[in-house]
Amino acid sequence: MPRGQKSKLRTRERRHQAQSGTQGLMGAQATAAEEEAASSSCSSLPGVTTRRKPGAKSRSTLKSPQRALATTTQPAGVSPARSNKGAKGQMKKKHSSSQAPVSAVRSRKGPLRRIASVLVQFLVHMYKMKKPVRKAHMLKLIDTKYQNRFPEILRRASFSMEMLFGVDLKEVDCTKHTYTFVSKMALPNDGTVSRGSGLPKTGILMYILGVILMKGNCATEENIWEFLNKMRVYAGKRHFIFGEPKKLITQDLVKLKYLEYRQVANSDPARYEFLWGPRAHAETSKMKVLEFLAKVNHTVPSAFQSWYEEALKDEEERAQASGCSSVLSSSSHTESEANSALCG
């Protein structure tokens, strides 16, 4: 085979491998996000221990990308009237023939995971109340025979809070074991976007920013919905965490300048694409989003070499810009002092 044809073949193979890697990574992220939502959406309410009556049915879902987020029960604080009743009914019919027996579901979701699910309910409640959390309060939710496993349970619950809602749990007092919440972004109304009841939307924003990053900093609307559909999040179908997703990502987050939503040039019929908005650039970075995605996949950012190199370059540029701003600010301050001295 001539050298030119060999070179073209190698280039085509590398491109195909890169595309496959991106799709595989996004699929893994969508599956992980779905699993976290499913595992954290039990019917227990904050303040209730995890003891179950013998023979009680489990409302948990299997760890499978084929199971829908919309079919899980709502976390505490979500009004059933606002849940996706239509989607739940449709998905229930679709999956009724393939659902596993209750015993199989229970066996796949161990006691620690169930307890962590209850703890997530409590943490969401405290987050919305804007109150700090103490270890003593959390231990009251845990059966005494599992309290020695508290560190692991808290780790699971914290991971779910971060992956679902984009909210970190930070210890602020190591003597009283007091924790507070830190959101990854500064979305209004504590991340719920709109006033009133609701759950933080920061998590879905982080995932969308990640898809945009992986797609060369510009993702088509088809790319975004392909990813969200793997999480069983659909346009026009109200979701118990994210509300009406299409309105959220094409209107609310665009109006808040976290996303840019524009028509693809020369597209007929019109097609649209997403980019990072100015507030996303201001409140987070490519490295922070990559760290988030790496955590979803239980790995480190450097495992994603090409994106990691891009993120490092972005960090360097941000540092240089920050340095220049500091120098200009210092210079301006010095000049102001000098003028004041001359006037004096």
Residue 73 lies in a domain: no
Task: Check whether 66 has a pLDDT greater than 70.
Answer: no
Q: What is the tens place of the pLDDT at every residue in 305-317?
A: 899 999 999 999 9
**Per-residue pLDDT, 191:** 77
Q: How high is the pLDDT of residue 7? A: 54
pLDDT of residue 175: 92
**Same domain? 177 vs 206:** no
With beta carbons less than 8 A apart as the criterion, state whether 293 and 29 touch.
Answer: yes
User: Percent of the chain scored above 70 by pLDDT?
Assistant: 62
Looking at the fold, whether 234 and 266 belong to one and the same domain comes out as yes
The residue-averaged pLDDT of 98-127 equals 71
Residue 115 belongs to domain with CATH number: 1.10.10.1200
Mean pLDDT, rounded, for 155-166 = 94
258 has pLDDT over 90:
yes
Residue range 194-204: average pLDDT?
Answer: 80
pLDDT value at residue 79: 38
Residues 131 and 165 in one domain: yes
- Residue 269's domain spans which residues? 201-284
Does 66 fall in a domain? Answer: no
pLDDT reported for residue 171: 94
In this prediction, residue 198 carries a pLDDT of 75
**Residue 193: which pLDDT band, with cuts at 50, 70 and 90?**
confident
Return the CATH number at 205.
1.10.10.1210
User: Residue 105 — very low, low, confident or very high, per pLDDT cuts 50/70/90?
Assistant: very low
pLDDT at 82: 40
- Stretch among 50-54, 122-126, 296-300 having the lowest mean pLDDT: 50-54
Question: To the nearest whole percent, how much of the chain has pLDDT over 90?
Answer: 51
Structurally, the chain folds into a number of domains equal to: 2
Is residue 259, in this structure, part of any structural domain at all? yes
- Asked if residue 229 belongs to a domain, the reply is yes
- 6-15, 99-108, 148-157: segment of lowest average pLDDT: 99-108
Residue 197 pLDDT = 61
Lowest mean pLDDT among 42-56, 189-203, 329-343: 42-56
- What's the chain's Rg over C-alpha atoms? 23
**208 and 179 share a domain?**
no
Q: State the pLDDT at residue 321.
A: 86
The answer on pLDDT for 67 being more than 70 is no
Last residue of a domain, one of 140, 157, 183: 183
Residue 21 has pLDDT above 90, yes or no: no
Strands of the sheet containing 219-220, edge to edge, are 219-220, 272-276, 259-263
User: What's the pLDDT band for 289 if we cut at 50, 70, 90?
Assistant: very high
Question: Sheet containing 133-134: which strands, arranged edge to edge?
Answer: 133-134, 178-183, 167-173
Closest CA to 118 of 49, 203, 198: 49
Question: What is the reported pLDDT for 343?
Answer: 53
Query: Once rounded to an integer, what is the mean pLDDT over residues 198-209?
Result: 91
Of 52 and 249, more confident: 249
Mean pLDDT, rounded, for 111-139:
93
Q: Which of 5-9, 96-100, 107-111, 276-280 has the highest mean pLDDT?
A: 276-280
CA dist 49 and 146 (Å) reads 11
Indicate whether 227 belongs to any domain.
Answer: yes
Give the mean model confidence (pLDDT) for residues 118-147: 93
pLDDT of residue 241: 87
Domain final residue pick, 183, 213, 245: 183
CA torsion through residues 123, 127, 130, 132, sign: positive
Residue 245: the pLDDT is 93
Question: How far, in Å, CA of 91 to CA of 198, rounded?
Answer: 23
Question: Is a pLDDT exceeding 80 seen at residue 279?
Answer: yes
Q: Is residue 278 part of a domain?
A: yes
Give the residue from 262, 284, 306 where a domain finishes.
284
If pLDDT is split at 50, 70 and 90, which confidence band does 23 have?
low
The mean predicted confidence, pLDDT, of the chain is 74
